[in-house]
Amino acid sequence: MAERVTSVQVAQKAGVSQAAVSRVFTPGASVSEKTALKVRKVAKELGYRPNSLARAMVSGKSRIIGLVVAYLDNYFYPDAVERLSNKLQERGYHVLVFMASQTAGNIDDVMEEILDYQVDGIVVASVAMSSEITKRCQSAGVPVILFNRDQDDIAISSVTSDNYSGGRALADVLVADEHEKIAYIAGWEGASTQRDRELGFRDGLSAHNRTVFARGVGNFRSDQAKDTARVLFDVAPNKRPDAVFVANDHMAFMVMDVLRFELGLSVPNDVAVVGFDDVPPAAWLSYNLTTVRQRANVMVQKTVDTLLSQIENPSTFCPTQIKLDSPLIIRGTTRNLNR
Amino acid sequence: MAERVTSVQVAQKAGVSQAAVSRVFTPGASVSEKTALKVRKVAKELGYRPNSLARAMVSGKSRIIGLVVAYLDNYFYPDAVERLSNKLQERGYHVLVFMASQTAGNIDDVMEEILDYQVDGIVVASVAMSSEITKRCQSAGVPVILFNRDQDDIAISSVTSDNYSGGRALADVLVADEHEKIAYIAGWEGASTQRDRELGFRDGLSAHNRTVFARGVGNFRSDQAKDTARVLFDVAPNKRPDAVFVANDHMAFMVMDVLRFELGLSVPNDVAVVGFDDVPPAAWLSYNLTTVRQRANVMVQKTVDTLLSQIENPSTFCPTQIKLDSPLIIRGTTRNLNR
DNA sequence: ATGAAAGCGCTAACAA
DNA sequence: TTGTTAGCGCTTTCAT
């Protein structure tokens, strides 16, 4: 087990100072062509590469971005994580993952841990943060951006889709399809996405003088969504909703399965189903779900751009709440009468 | 934007040496109750936390595990990443993600980058490594473990399922169900999982004096799986396979959709379909796929145990190839005649 | 353009 | 148990 090669060793062998070696590996530093060549040659021979941690310590820039994420079982997030990681990697950053799940203690502890790693920035996905910890990051000079979550705090940047308009658009669809008993299955009530989608949906129904016929809660969890679907739909036909907006696709698939395979109902003929996210399985023909697309690639791009600009120009920066439009995707779980 | 609080500041305010502060935050170091209390109090007041990077530099242990992963669109991997991250977090480690995708340059470069971060260990998922880079890690004293990939190299640890037996079991199922024209849709030919599954499947068929009736390649990609399904099944009925083993679930779903919705065939009556992995959608009732389970939780547990034992007892360690049994999960995409 | 020297914040001997 | 001291490997003034 050979030791790690340091800049000192390269310097010695190349007959230059250690600082010279450092400069060769620092973009934009002033070194002569000659020295650079010599140093690179020796470095290659010895297998030298600069130690990122040492560099981080002295420069104060780790080029590490902390990512807090809770549930990867909603396929919206793995997809986002992959894109995020790729985009950051392209720009010379890397992602240090922190799961904020049940077992891992609460989110504030996790955030503290992240700060210990002297990260240059933090992306918080699918999680709400206390304002204390937001302040803590601010005072540590570490920019934070919320991904797919909104917070009333104007001091914190966020990237979301227009959940409200999306919900409204879905209401329009169900009303246009002449449904009478329209249900809603909610996500986790603590999430801004849940709240905004429901509000948009209800406002959309109101605009047509309709209201929600029945409501259940699925908490964005597939098992709970199934239970809720059974409660709502395993009833006498006249009490049964004829359409339902499920707060995300992940739950909508489970609801569809209950409707079709447990209750023997037809989607969309007996019950129309709409979801939110447009995760890949929504386009799979077995589901073919009418939904609202969260444009994950654009969301990620905005997240990266915003965060890195904040990191790289801390002075000129001002927190921004970005809300992306979220197109309606009409597929086969609605009747689409007038199309 | 307040400065970061250092141990020196805490030491001054608490009236102790800087080293004392360090010891208070080092589990197992010898400090008196009194000093510890005093230091903790001041630390809390000042909001001090040890800098992980500085600690890593001097101790040589970063408590960072590099994770190389390629495609998160096969849901087997997000699931594994989540579990892995959780398990490592429980044991005080964190995951630094490196995507080894098309855009990110080749895998060896990525590995070099990882080493720059002075990681304590590396998990390589779904990717094959050159033996050069394996050596590089070894000489850097960084343990590597392959997750869900096998390599002939006996010097490198790996955790896999028993893909061969799984493939064999699937052959048994299809033969028992009295299929005559049994097809195979392969994954990426460079993957050990693909090779082992196919070999097991073919050997299983041979044991019953059968052979593969038709073969296509899907490369583990959903779009290619669809194309391949069309080529194999959009033919005259007498030339059409009546059963197919698709090398993973991810592709199997696409194949099922083509069969049912594009070609109007019934699964399993016209064509039986079996997959591999048992990712969550395999249990969704719309697919209800007969498959072989890769026990992701166990795989992850073994991966973590092996890697950390190698990190924590470098001397006593010897590389191990772990192969977990992979149970057959019979569901509704096979006819199950004799059950 | 280059070298010498001063640290980044911490842990790990070593003394006391 | 505690303080002193010496670095970990690097970037960054400051001279030259």
Residue A179 has pLDDT above 80, yes or no: yes
Map tokens 């996210």 to a residue.
A277
Q: Are residues A178 and A219 in the same domain?
A: yes
B333 domain-assigned = no
Q: Tell if the CB–CB gap between A50 and B116 is shorter than 8 Å.
A: yes
Helix (H) or strand (E) holding B56: helix B52-59
Residue A105 has pLDDT above 60, yes or no: no
Q: How far apart are CA A48 and CA A43, in angstroms?
A: 5
Most A CBs within 10 A among B49, B52, B257, B333, hence the mutation to make, goes to B52
Q: How far apart are CA B15 and CA B38, in angstroms?
A: 9
User: Which residue of chain A is at minimal alpha-carbon distance from B69?
Assistant: A82
Residue B91 touches chain A, beta carbons under 8 Å: no
Q: Are residues B172 and B289 in the same domain?
A: yes
Residue A180 has pLDDT above 90, yes or no: yes
User: Which residue of chain B is at minimal alpha-carbon distance from A226?
Assistant: B284
Could you tell me how many residues make up chain A?
A: 339
Tell me which of A319-333, B126-140, B180-194 is least confident.
B126-140
- What is the span of the domain harbouring residue A241? 163-294
Residue A104 has pLDDT above 60, yes or no: no
B249 domain-assigned = yes
Number of domains in chain B: 3
| Tokens of residue B217, six digits | 């390649």
Q: How far apart are CA A325 and CA A123, in angstroms?
A: 21
Please report, for the domain that includes residue B38, its CATH number. 1.10.260.40
Residue B1 has pLDDT above 70, yes or no: no
Residue B3 has pLDDT above 80, yes or no: no
DSSP string, B98-123: EE-SGGG--HHHHHHHHHHTT-SEEE
Q: How confident is the model at residue A102 (pLDDT cuts 50, 70, 90)?
A: low
CA of B53, C1' of C11: distance in angstroms: 12
Q: Are residues B188 and B308 in the same domain?
A: no
CB contact set of B45 (below 8 Å; sequence gap of 6+): B13
Q: How far apart are CA B184 and CA B245, in angstroms?
A: 5
Residue B119 has pLDDT above 70, yes or no: yes
Q: What's the mean pLDDT when you consider all of chain A?
A: 94
**Nearest residue (CA) to C1' of D13:** A19
List protein-proximal bases of chain D (any atom < 7 A from a CB).
1-5, 7-13
One-letter amino acid for residue A91 of the chain:
R
Portion 217-276 of B in contact with A at CB < 8 A: 253-254, 256-257, 260-262
A116 domain-assigned = yes
**Closest among B198, B151, B161 to B278, alpha carbons compared:** B161
**B107 against A336, higher pLDDT:** A336
- Residue B103: the pLDDT is 54
Q: Are residues B173 and B254 in the same domain?
A: yes
Map tokens 């030298």 to a residue.
A48
Q: What is the pLDDT of residues A247-292, one digit of tens each?
A: 999 999 999 999 999 999 999 999 999 999 999 999 999 999 999 9
Q: Are residues A90 and A171 in the same domain?
A: no
Q: How far apart, in Å, are the Cα atoms of A2 and each of A216, B110, B139, B203? A: 61, 21, 5, 44
B90 domain-assigned = yes
- Residue A130: the pLDDT is 78
Residue B105 has pLDDT above 60, yes or no: no
- Residue A249: the pLDDT is 98
Q: Are residues A118 and A224 in the same domain?
A: no
Map tokens 């981080």 to a residue.
A56
**B215 against B339, higher pLDDT:** B215
Beta bridge partners of A67: A97, A123
Taking CB atoms and an 8 Å cutoff, what residues of chain B touch A94?
96-98, 113, 117
A299-312 burial code (b ≥16 CB/10 A, e <16): bbbbbbebbbebbe
Judge contact between B292 and B246, C-beta under 8 A: no
Q: What is the pLDDT of residues B259-302, one digit of tens each?
A: 999 999 999 999 999 999 999 999 999 999 999 999 999 999 99
Map tokens 């029945």 to a residue.
A214
Q: What is the pLDDT of residues A60-98, one digit of tens each?
A: 999 999 999 987 889 999 989 999 999 999 999 999 999
Please report, for the domain that includes residue B153, its CATH number. 3.40.50.2300
Taking CB atoms and an 8 Å cutoff, what residues of chain A touch B254?
284
Taking CB atoms and an 8 Å cutoff, what residues of chain A touch B139?
1-2
Residue A114 has pLDDT above 60, yes or no: yes
- Residue A107: the pLDDT is 83
Most A CBs within 10 A among B112, B116, B222, B279, hence the mutation to make, goes to B116
Q: Are residues A139 and A173 in the same domain?
A: no
Q: Are residues A69 and A38 in the same domain?
A: no
pLDDT average, residue stretch A224-230: 98
Question: Alpha helices of chain B — where are they, by DSSP H?
Answer: 7-14, 18-24, 33-46, 52-59, 76-90, 107-116, 131-139, 163-176, 192-207, 222-233, 249-257, 280-283, 296-312
Q: What's the mean pLDDT when you consider all of chain B?
A: 94
- Residue B264: the pLDDT is 98
Q: Are residues B184 and B302 in the same domain?
A: no
- Residue A136: the pLDDT is 86
Residue B8 touches chain A, beta carbons under 8 Å: no
Taking CB atoms and an 8 Å cutoff, what residues of chain A touch B56?
53
- Say which nucleotide is closest to residue B34, CA to C1' distance: D1
Q: How confident is the model at residue B131 (pLDDT cuts 50, 70, 90)?
A: confident
- Residue B38: the pLDDT is 96
- Counted across chains A and B, CB pairs separated by less than 8 A come out at 164
CB contact set of B286 (below 8 Å; sequence gap of 6+): A253, A256, A257, A260, A261, A286, A287
Q: How far apart are CA A84 and CA B145, in angstroms?
A: 25
Strand D closer than 7 A to residue A63 Cβ: no
Chain centroid, CA B214 distance in Å: 29
pTM of structure: 0.94
